[in-house]
Structure 1
Amino acid sequence: MSSESISQSISIVHPIRLSHGKNAEVWDENGKRYIDFVGGIGVLNLGHCHPRVVAAIQQQATRLTHYAFNAAPHGPYVEFMERLARFMPLSYPVSGMLTNSGAEAAENALKIVRGATGRTAVIAFDGGFHGRTLATLNLNGKVAPYKQKIGVLPGPVYHLPYPSADNGVTCEEALKAMDRLFSVEIDVAEVACFIVEPVQGEAGFLALDVEFARALRRFCDQQGILLIADEIQSGFGRTGQRFAFTRLGIEPDLVLLGKSIGGGVPLGAVVGRKALLDNLPKGGLGGTYSGNPIACAAALATLDEMSDLNLQTWGERQEQAIVSRYQRWQAERLTPYLGRLTGVGAMRGIELVKADGSPAPEQLSALLSAARDAGLLLMPSGKSRHIVRLLAPLTIEPQVLEEGLDILEDCLARLA
């Protein structure tokens, strides 16, 4: 389904051409229906073409399609930022800026922490993913394919093991590695920030160790280092809560937002402590399209749907369906390739491994193909592309969710 007019450096997971979608279902140009467990890679927590989001887009498009906020402010930007500040589960005064994407949010966060601390070094984590722009590439805890053939990247950036029950790295091991880093590699006084995903997305939905998160927060406070939580994929209800950092019992200094923030329309944000967001000179932050009126209207409609009750109900329903299926598959020994169930809440991954416990990417590739043929779209993840990440819309109808899990079950059972 590729075209010579499109860069061949773009990798396509599913070689089909989509026509339209509704909630958790999409159709290709031949009229074939698929249940969507990809959700635009975490963008569609409210599903395809949510009526409230569509109505907001249509209404705004008749009033003002664009104005650069830094040239002349417009209502949707102001209203959304006020609503977003109240939506953030943070105890301190919140300020922020809108961007076009999660990667752009990460880039701006790096500028903000440099301006606030006068330091340049960043500590990120193995397996992390923060974007495809030049500075965010160096934050990513994986070389292939993102850093290949690119050369020297902006820095300095250092990486630590990511402690999680989902990958077997303990809090003690991560803290020991951190002690070594500051003993051997870099003076702690040069570090501006740590950047961490409360649940790693690209790595296979690995949930951060709670004890480590709290130890990291204490360490940052002691050393004058800022803590950035990347909630681009885990935010806006993906785990059944507004944001995943709340389960860790910590407050980050900055939070990166994107993906499901705009109900399918490109939008991102950096939010956090007001003093940090205000520290750069006038004009130091901004952007031509950042906070486009149509995107802000879609984001306002998205927030209207994301009440705590809705998020909890949707998250618990999806979590229970996935966990109960997985436990049955495990008890019945559905396939010898069934590994761990990763993640938290409705943000879940299913690991495929061989008999010796090593990753099984060939089987995952076969699973993606078989499921697609049967009408289910899945997304790979993990360092070895051996973990299926389940990103069905939170609003998926229960019967459609069960139908999708039925297809997944059948395809898993037929793995050879």
Structure 2
Amino acid sequence: MTDSTTAGVPQERRLVTAVPGPKSQQLLARKNAAVANGVAVTLPVFTARAGGGILEDIDGNRLIDFGSGIAVTTVGNSAEAVVRRATAQLADFTHTCFMITPYEEYVEVAEALAELTPGDHAKKSALFNSGAEAVENAVKIARAYTKRQAVVVFDHGYHGRTNLTMALTAKNMPYKNGFGPFAPEIYRVPVAYGYRWPTGPENCGPEAAAQAIDEISKQVGADNVAAIVIEPVLGEGGFIEPAKGFLPALKKFAEDNGIVFVADEIQSGFCRTGQWFACEDEGIVPDLITTAKGIAGGLPLAAVTGRAEIMDAAHAGGLGGTYGGNPVACAAALGAIATMKELDLNAAAQRIEGIMKPRLAAMQEKFDVIGDIRGRGAMIAVELVKDPATKEPAPELTGAVAKACHAAGLIVLTCGTYGNVLRFLPPLVISDELLNEGLDLIEEAFAAQL
């Protein structure tokens, strides 16, 4: 890739110390003394610089990045257009609060979101700082519009760490344990998890939809539901792609019953799955869509975008926040979106999938602990099991493989309700050479553990 996406960082893996190295270990001791223990780290290497598909630590090690800061640095770290636009904005002003004296960059981001998100209806946006804020505000907006209170979410879903979004999130540890009580009027129903569906993936979509709709109708009552909130590809829950037909059935149910359909695209949006948004795969046009992570090239920004009449339901002053839509973050977002268009990062994600899935399928032939390969674009995962017949989760093996990858200089992340999923989120600007080298390291990590 060009210097515009690599930020001058050499695009080659290099290990000069053990991982983590001595300087990182010294900083880790300082971190442990000064930072709350609840803020844990996956891999305690302290970053010095990053770009393209490489992260360089303070010891001089260069690691291949299959994490992208959890799907954030889609355009690479320090992408030229992001840095240029954010730097120019820093020189002009850093903050006024859009609710006090507004600025053009916020409006430009809202206009870009109206253009890029699915559907040709009139749209409006509100900008925030984090994905959890976006989801929480989507619920507020849906409740204001429908004058209802109930919110329906799904098994294996993840939506954030605020009180309301913890309630929306399915997994207890580490997200919810000990932090209750949680917000009321949240109802959880089954999701179409094809790999683990009792009658097989071929039946999963329609059966899971029928079961979910039945539970909503009986236990909640469709007339009481303000919003259905779902990730078109479930992220922290294990990169689960709902089986075909599930999302369209839920969307139709929402339409028929005056329910606001919210697509949580915080991890899956902005070219990550090979489309601007993952919900486009089955032609879903959500009423509201939440975005964050990849939107601004690493700066904190999030959004709720949706049908103008729904977005306008909240009273004046009902939406906002001191830092929401910060001008520097907005400038960065405009640079990130320009980069996605210029480099056709949807095509790049599709190319990454074309490399990764065949390589992982070949590994599955060698290692039967790989029970499932799933995902789209550059949002790919493998689910590890102790026995492919019983599909018993293998979280210890998953952790061991991840740890071996880290020691070899490859950043990978784990996820899944059962802690048994390795997820791969490379920057979309990663080179084919680094991508294949990373896959070599994954294969070597499996071989070493089995």
**Structure-2-length-normalised TM-score:** 0.89
Q: What's 2:207 paired with?
A: 173
The answer as to 2:86 corresponding to 1:57 is: yes
The answer as to 2:369 corresponding to 1:369 is: no
Letter aligned with residue 217 of structure 1: K
Q: What's 2:191 paired with?
A: 162
The answer as to 2:127 corresponding to 1:70 is: no
Task: Provide the rounded CA distance (Å) in 1 between the counterparts of 2:254 and 2:350.
Answer: 33
**Number of matched pairs:** 414
Aligned pairs for 1:173-212 within 5 A: 173-182=207-216, 184-212=218-246
- Determine helix, strand or coil for the equivalent of 1:314: helix
Contact 1:166/1:343 (<8 A) preserved: no
Q: What's 2:24 paired with?
A: none
Task: Provide the rounded CA distance (Å) in 2 between the counterparts of 1:182 and 1:32.
Answer: 52
Q: What's 1:351 paired with?
A: 383
> Percent of aligned pairs with the same residue?
39
Task: Provide the rounded CA distance (Å) in 1 between the counterparts of 2:447 and 2:356.
Answer: 16
Task: Provide the rounded CA distance (Å) in 1 between the counterparts of 2:275 and 2:100.
Answer: 36
Task: Provide the rounded CA distance (Å) in 2 between the counterparts of 1:192 and 1:17.
Answer: 44
Q: What's 1:263 paired with?
A: 297
Q: What's 1:306 paired with?
A: 340
**Match 2:168 to one of 115, 139, 151:** 139
Q: What's 2:159 paired with?
A: 130
The answer as to 2:259 corresponding to 1:225 is: yes
- Determine helix, strand or coil for the equivalent of 1:389: strand
**Match 2:282 to one of 234, 248, 251:** 248
The change in CA–CA distance for 1:292 and 1:56 in structure 2 (over 3 A counts) is same
- Determine helix, strand or coil for the equivalent of 2:92: coil
Task: Provide the rounded CA distance (Å) in 2 between the counterparts of 1:68 and 1:101.
Answer: 16
**Match 1:14 to one of 26, 43, 47:** 43
Q: What's 1:92 paired with?
A: 121
Task: Provide the rounded CA distance (Å) in 2 between the counterparts of 1:413 and 1:125.
Answer: 35
Structure 1's consecutive aligned runs of 4 or more residues displaced over 3 angstroms after TM superposition are none
Moved more, 229-238 or 170-179: 170-179
Contact 1:242/1:308 (<8 A) preserved: no
TM-superposition CA deviations, 1:47-93 (whole Å, max 9, x none): 11111111111111111111100101111111221122112231211
The change in CA–CA distance for 1:309 and 1:31 in structure 2 (over 3 A counts) is closer
CA apart distance, 1:155: 2.0
Contact 1:166/1:207 (<8 A) preserved: no
Moved more, 38-47 or 336-345: 336-345
TM-superposition CA deviations, 1:286-335 (whole Å, max 9, x none): 1111111100000001111222971332012100110110122233x1x2
Q: What's 1:41 paired with?
A: 70
Letter aligned with residue 408 of structure 1: I
Moved more, 186-195 or 9-18: 9-18
Task: Provide the rounded CA distance (Å) in 1 between the counterparts of 2:431 and 2:283.
Answer: 32
CA apart distance, 1:184: 4.1
Task: Provide the rounded CA distance (Å) in 2 between the counterparts of 1:73 and 1:359.
Answer: 51
The answer as to 2:433 corresponding to 1:404 is: no
Contact 1:241/1:308 (<8 A) preserved: no
TM-superposition CA deviations, 1:333-384 (whole Å, max 9, x none): 1x24222101122211011111242111111111111111110010001112
Unaligned runs of 5+ in 2: 1-27, 199-203
Contact 2:192/2:209 (<8 A) preserved: no
Q: What's 2:12 paired with?
A: none
Letter aligned with residue 329 of structure 1: M
Task: Provide the rounded CA distance (Å) in 2 between the counterparts of 1:125 and 1:151.
Answer: 19
Q: What's 2:429 paired with?
A: 395
Contact 2:52/2:76 (<8 A) preserved: yes
CA apart distance, 1:174: 2.1
Contact 2:205/2:242 (<8 A) preserved: no
Contact 1:128/1:142 (<8 A) preserved: yes
TM-superposition CA deviations, 1:102-161 (whole Å, max 9, x none): 100011111101110110000000000000001001111122222211222112111111
Contact 1:120/1:155 (<8 A) preserved: no
Moved more, 203-212 or 390-399: 203-212
CA apart distance, 1:183: 5.2
Contact 2:361/2:373 (<8 A) preserved: no
Moved more, 104-113 or 3-12: 3-12
Contact 1:342/1:348 (<8 A) preserved: yes
- Determine helix, strand or coil for the equivalent of 2:34: coil
Task: Provide the rounded CA distance (Å) in 2 between the counterparts of 1:59 and 1:225.
Answer: 42
The answer as to 2:58 corresponding to 1:26 is: no
The answer as to 2:373 corresponding to 1:341 is: yes
Task: Provide the rounded CA distance (Å) in 1 between the counterparts of 2:49 and 2:343.
Answer: 29
**Match 1:296 to one of 330, 338, 362:** 330
**Structure-1-length-normalised TM-score:** 0.96
Contact 2:56/2:63 (<8 A) preserved: yes
The change in CA–CA distance for 1:80 and 1:182 in structure 2 (over 3 A counts) is closer
Task: Provide the rounded CA distance (Å) in 2 between the counterparts of 1:313 and 1:146.
Answer: 34
CA apart distance, 1:96: 0.7
Task: Provide the rounded CA distance (Å) in 2 between the counterparts of 1:359 and 1:154.
Answer: 30
- Determine helix, strand or coil for the equivalent of 1:291: coil
